[in-house]
Amino acid sequence: MSSDEDTPLGTLASTSGTKHATTDCNSSLNGFADHSAMSEDEMPLSQVNGGQTPVRPLRRKRDSGQVSDSSDDDVPLASSSPTKPTLSVNTQAVATPRAVLDKSKQTNGKAKGKTKAPPKKRLKREEKSVVPDSSGSEDERPPARRRSKTKVKTEDNADGTTLGGEETKPKRKSVPKKETKKEDSGTPKPKSMKGEENDEAEEEEAKYRWWEAQQENDGEEKWQTLEHNGVIFPPPYEPLPSHVRMKYKGKEVDLPPESEEVAGFYAAMLETDHAKDKIFNRNFFEDWLNVLKNHPPRNGIKITDFDLCDFRPMYEYFETEKAKKKALSAAEKKELKKQKDAMEEKYTHCLLDGRKEKVGNFRVEPPGLFRGRGDHPKKGALKFRVRPEDITLNIGEGVPLPVPNMPGNWKAVVHDKTVTWLANWVENVNGNYKYVFLAAGSSLKGQSDMSKFEKSRELKKYVDRIRIDYTADLKSKVMADRQRATAMYFIDRLALRAGNEKGEDEADTVGCCSLRCEHVTLEAPNFIVFDFLGKDSIRYYNRVPVDAQVFKNVRLCKENKEDSDNLFDRVNTALLNKHLQSYMKGLTAKVFRTYNASITFQQQLDEGTPKVATLQEKLNAYNHANRMVAILCNHQRSVPKTHEQSMGKMRDRLRALKYDHMKLRHVLFNLDPKYRKVKQYADDESDLDDEWIVEHEENLKKKDIEKAEKKFAKDNEKLVEEGKKPQDESILQEKITAIEVEFERIAKERGTGRASLKRERPVERIEDSIQKLDEKIKIFKLQMDDREAGKEVALGTSKINYLDPRITAAWCKTHNVPIEKIFSKTLLTKFPWAMEAESDWKF
């Protein structure tokens, strides 16, 4: 779901600014000039059913989760949609990091500014995790711990909904006592979760700056007091009306609620690509048959063949209900949202050490069909309804225990101060743990993010030595060392993920250490072709030149092996990370990925940002740098299905701007024919043919009439609310008639090369309006180029997980770019500590 909270602040600002720039045109052309403003479907995006739990099929084997590797939600309009040049840019993907590596000493100077890296001795040491799960992003890793009071596995979720992050964090600086009121015990007194917080408490909460505050806990403890209201469960399933039934062999099937609910999950997806997938259909049908065994049709029909099932009646009912919701008035929608917000209000925040902190995902996932990522072998499997008996709560001792919003008791309640999750449960499809954490903008999550990027910056001190050593080991007589060095070469130079072994029932995704011989092809004299499924089953294809010794090593690794054999049979992630930690405390292979992404980004910005440029040109340079990182990290995405439609709309808006430009030129010609000989006004808009102009003017007329009707209705609603008599319909008809007369006048001017304004204006103002339109057209063309260039690359993942946000903050200050043009409201909330970086700060 998209929300205002997730919409980049710069989006609306840029649109309103554009309108302001063309105010003269708008007033002069009675609506011609700014009909190109962005529509809602072009604005950037940011993130049920109920019923009885069906009888569960036999438990499946565990499967390591997959987390979405991209997010387009944080990309503002001014930057265009995130996307990627085609992978024919593979040479760039290699050349870029190489160039950075060669110049790393130049870009790795000491950072300056307010937000300085904490000294090494002040950084909280990371957990010794020999085998980190490389399948998830560094920003989404459940908390590691040494002395946990509960034995809870920390893994990513399989469908990309994992919340959480690394639990390491820097110690805070001291803060004046007035900011933290303490009891005699030295622990902040927690506020009550009941009732409204007073203004003073809210003001104190708003001022809390964890990166400057004194850290209250020591050792492994992340908090001292924790109070929350648990999680909110989805509503129970409501059976469909009796006339809405699926069919089998053309006959209606009377399903009980338990099996009807599962059938409804599939029916709702009938027109999606999922329903066309054989694996998805097979897994759904197998799980549904297990439910039908215990909850068979009440009219005795036996279902055995998927192809004979007709879910169309259910699908049509769902679509009708969806249309009804969409047709609700604004007031009705507002009221429904108000009711929903009121119901969820107490779950949205918790009290952590006496401070009110926002909770991330407090909603328990409703039951449904697992979609997975890419070619996941379990897509279509049934996700069971989660109940209180499945959930373990983590909460402070001595605080009121939350009461579930559905019948049942919690599975367990723990008081573990060494972790930051509030609740967890195990989902049935892959057997992975799901967690509820604090929101991205919380103090604990911010400390985790800052610690992660500081660790990547710390790698600068050791990276040269590491590279010298693995380059030497490429020729080692010990085969294990040689393989490890070759793997490090790929991880460092190509930003490959480390990779872990997978189970038989998991998606066949691999990383560097789990590459098989079939994934690597050698092409003389020194090219290696990588072709495998990476995280989220995204294909990684890259043909790259490598050092001669690396080419030789890969050839040796492939000798006398089958295609299905591991390329590196003497190295794994555990051994690799153990070796890396001999250089630097807490260093793992995935730190290289963050380091190379950020250092590449810094170098690309430094080299690619024009010294003298317009705002849009600077934004394009920023997006280009981000694309280079996305290519390096293989953050691909399929071209959006709506891309061509979106580009078509943009082309129409560009033509609309040119139309306004043409009309103003014709106004000048009408006022003074000598303007026809002025070069800047002489050229016609070549892509405006007569047919398009007629259609455009007709659309403009319809929009003006609709606008008049809406204003008339809104004015009447206001009059009725004030107890006054509404306007007569004749007033609306007069306005519509005036609009029609105006467009008749405009139609007569068509093809004459002359135009007039409804209200006369000085020539100077018309010239100024034309100049503003010229600038607007130029900016809009840059936006179109940027969107087209990035249609296959997901820029969001890099921005959220791999790029130190201080790079962006410093760049924006240096080049006078409003950071709202780049960071969404969500990211600004997530990285408040980064906003204080000075303009000369470098990664």
Extract the tokens encoding 784.
């179109």
Extract the tokens encoding 509.
């995704």
- Rounded Cα distance between 768 and 706, Å, is 30
- Rounded Cα distance between 116 and 811, Å, is 16
- Rounded Cα distance between 500 and 512, Å, is 9
- Rounded Cα distance between 832 and 820, Å, is 13
Of 404, 380, 370, the C-alpha closest to 390 is 404
- Rounded Cα distance between 424 and 421, Å, is 7
- Rounded Cα distance between 37 and 657, Å, is 10
Of 67, 42, 12, the C-alpha closest to 800 is 67
Residue count of the chain, please give it: 843
Extract the tokens encoding 819.
């950071």
Of 293, 220, 276, 239, the C-alpha closest to 57 is 293
Residue 497, Cβ neighbours under 10 Å: how many?
A: 26
CA 213 to each of CA 353, 442, 690, 785, 822: distance values in angstroms, whole numbers, following the listed order: 13, 14, 66, 45, 28
Of 533, 213, 498, the C-alpha closest to 352 is 213
Q: Which letter does DSSP use for residue 212 in this model? A: T
Q: Which letter does DSSP use for residue 142 in this model? A: P
262-266: Cβ within 8 A, 24+ apart: 262/54, 262/287, 262/288, 262/291, 262/382, 263/288, 263/311, 263/314, 264/49, 264/240, 264/314, 264/318, 265/49, 265/367, 265/368, 265/369, 265/382, 266/311, 266/369
Decide: 553 and 482 in contact? Cβ < 8 Å.
yes
- Rounded Cα distance between 773 and 25, Å, is 8
- Rounded Cα distance between 442 and 533, Å, is 34
Of 800, 827, 836, 797, the C-alpha closest to 5 is 827
CA 273 to each of CA 270, 279, 308, 323, 371: distance values in angstroms, whole numbers, following the listed order: 8, 12, 19, 21, 11
Q: Which letter does DSSP use for residue 658 in this model? A: H
Helices (H) and strands (E) in the chain, counts: 24, 15
Cis peptide before 85 (omega within 30 of 0): no
Compute the 3-state secondary structure of the chain and give helix, strand, coil in percent, each to the nearest 5. Answer: 45, 10, 45
Residues assigned a catalytic role: 802
Extract the tokens encoding 182.
């303490």
Decide: 2 and 809 in contact? Cβ < 8 Å.
no
Q: Which letter does DSSP use for residue 798 in this model? A: I
